[in-house]
Chains A and B, each alone.
Chain A
Amino acid sequence: MEHRLTTPLTKEAILKLKAGDILYLTGRVFTARDEAHKHILNALSHHRKLPFDPTGAVIYHCGPLLKKTENSWQVVSAGPTTSERMTQMTPALMDNTGIRAIIGKGGMKGVAPLFRGRCVYLAYTGGCAVLAAEGISRVINVYWQNLGMAEAVWEFEVRDFGPLIVGIDSYGVDLYEKVLEKASESLKAIVTASDST
């Protein structure tokens, strides 16, 4: 099924998304990778307010490449980075902010049950950095720029950003896990066949 949603995302909106559905997103997304996650969690553990509002927000695992023009920033390429690196920090992020969606690539192993009733994981095609940049209409703001271009939090305005595939839905169904379960059976068959020859 195909959906079009606008941020900030409500709980009702994400409950309609099922693993394997296609989604196009309009509104705002915040980039965050390794260092930004550490900064967000550090701020929250010291009860400091974040410089942006995470309620209903979409977090994008992305270290973009931008070009500085006279008065603004131009997004050159902004594809997803491997989400697995952020897996350990994600439960605390979901517990302490009101984020409703995470965009990334490759999935996040073993955390699907924690998405139940509150959040979805959306897969953006890895490596499709210029296609992603086409879906970003404007740079709204940048936070923690001292972390460097790739690690800072960029607030992007997006329009029909996608196709995003619902990789983990808010019922805890993990599309990647299903694929790997099948792959695991095929692997066993290959190993058994080569052992018996």
Chain B
Amino acid sequence: MSIISRDFFVTNIIELIIQSETILPVDTVIALENAWQKESNTIAKSQLAAILKNIKIAREKKYPLCQDTGIFIFNVTIGKNIVINFNINDAICEALRSATETLPLRPNVVHPLTRENSLDNTGDGLPDITFNLTEGSDFEVYVYPKGAGSENMSRLAMLKPSQNREIKRFVVETVFTAGGMPCPPIIVGVGIGGSFDLAARLSKKAALRPLDGMNDFEQELCDAVNTLGIGAMGLGGDTTALAVHVNTAHCHTASLPVAVNIQCWANRRAYKKFI
């Protein structure tokens, strides 16, 4: 027997989507408040103040923080003891279509070549849903709306294995090239190793990680990025990146893939534990 009903699941996913669009996670709000507090550039300070005000209005009014309500990434964790008697992919798509109408979300999903808009934020391959299988009785869903402004500034390089010192250069150059376009202060996700596509997935995971501290290498990269002085919205300032996160995987002895995924300050994420 199914542990939860389809209706219950769909209703909760709609709520989760709305939450992700209207309430920024606490870790990100704190990081932005800290950035505002220590900012020495008055223009950047005005931009950070506007961001904090915007976050407050969105939460109070239950409106999307940003008009680019993104494309949708779902991460579902299911334990081996969980029995579900409905198609989770279909249920998520239904919830997304419904939230598109009710919140509303901006219809962002188009065919890549004809550019025809599906009008309901679903399409071939979207939303992007991944499943993690676990040993226990977990059933959890993460939702991440991803905007295009920051995603468009992401890059991937297949470096030579001897070029490990090039990693830092590639990360900093990517942020430099992006300038004010990805809506800084940004969070930089770096994926090192794996393969061409695994590096990209690692970088996305790294970008979406909670802001709960950086290791020495991440801190070194973050300091390097912030010496650029691009600042909030590219108008100059102390904080260009709130954090740099690095996720790694083993790779082929002849390869060194490096991917950099950029996340704007609207670091949207919501989580629901069903069981």
Residues in B lying within 8 Å of A, measured CB to CB: 43, 46-47, 50-51, 53-54, 57-58, 61, 63-69, 104, 106-107, 117, 147, 149, 152, 165, 168-169, 172-173, 176, 179-181, 183, 224, 227-236, 264-266
Contact = CB atoms under 8 A, between A and B. Distances in A.
Given A77-B63, A77-B66, A163-B50, A106 B181 contact: yes
A107 B67 contact: no
A65 B228 contact: no
B64 A65 contact: yes
Interface string A96-107: 000000000111
B65 A130 contact: yes
B233 A105 contact: yes
Q: Which of A64, A105, A125, A134 has the most CB of B within 10 A?
A: A125
A86 interface: no
Contacts of B46: 22, 163, 165
Given A76-B63, A182-B229, A186-B228, A127 B176 contact: no
Contacts of A165: 43, 46-47, 233, 235
B106 A125 contact: no
A20 interface: yes
B22 to A, nearest CB: 9
Interface stretch (A10-18, A38-46, A110-118, A171-179): A171-179
B235 A129 contact: no
Q: Is the interface of B mostly helix, strand, loop or mixed?
A: loop
Q: Is the interface of A mostly helix, strand, loop or mixed?
A: mixed
A105 B173 CA distance: 21
Contacts of B53: 128, 131
Given A148-B117, A163-B46, A194-B168, A126 B63 contact: no
A197 interface: yes
B111 to A, nearest CB: 14
Nearest to A66: B104
22 contacts: A20-B43, A22-B46, A65-B67, A76-B64, A76-B67, A77-B64, A77-B66, A77-B67, A106-B180, A107-B234, A125-B50, A125-B232, A127-B68, A129-B68, A130-B57, A130-B61, A134-B57, A165-B47, A165-B235, A180-B230, A187-B176, A190-B169
B54 A125 contact: yes
A181 to B, nearest CB: 10
A125 B228 contact: no
A130 B235 contact: no
Interface of A: 20, 22, 62-65, 67, 76-79, 81-82, 84, 105-107, 123, 125-131, 133-134, 148-150, 163, 165, 167, 175-176, 178-180, 182-184, 186-187, 189-191, 194-195, 197
Nearest to A189: B227
A195 B173 CA distance: 14
A133 B63 contact: yes
B227 A150 contact: no
Contacts of A64: 67
Contacts of A134: 57
Given A63-B106, A150-B106, A190-B172, A126 B233 contact: yes
A107 B65 contact: no
Contacts of B68: 79, 81, 127, 129
A150 B181 CA distance: 19
Closest 3 CB pairs of A and B: A126-B183, A128-B54, A131-B54
A131 B168 CA distance: 36
A130 B58 contact: yes
B227 A125 contact: no
Given A125-B54, A128-B51, 14 more contacts: A76-B63, A76-B64, A106-B234, A123-B180, A126-B264, A128-B66, A131-B50, A133-B63, A167-B235, A175-B43, A180-B230, A183-B179, A183-B228, A183-B229
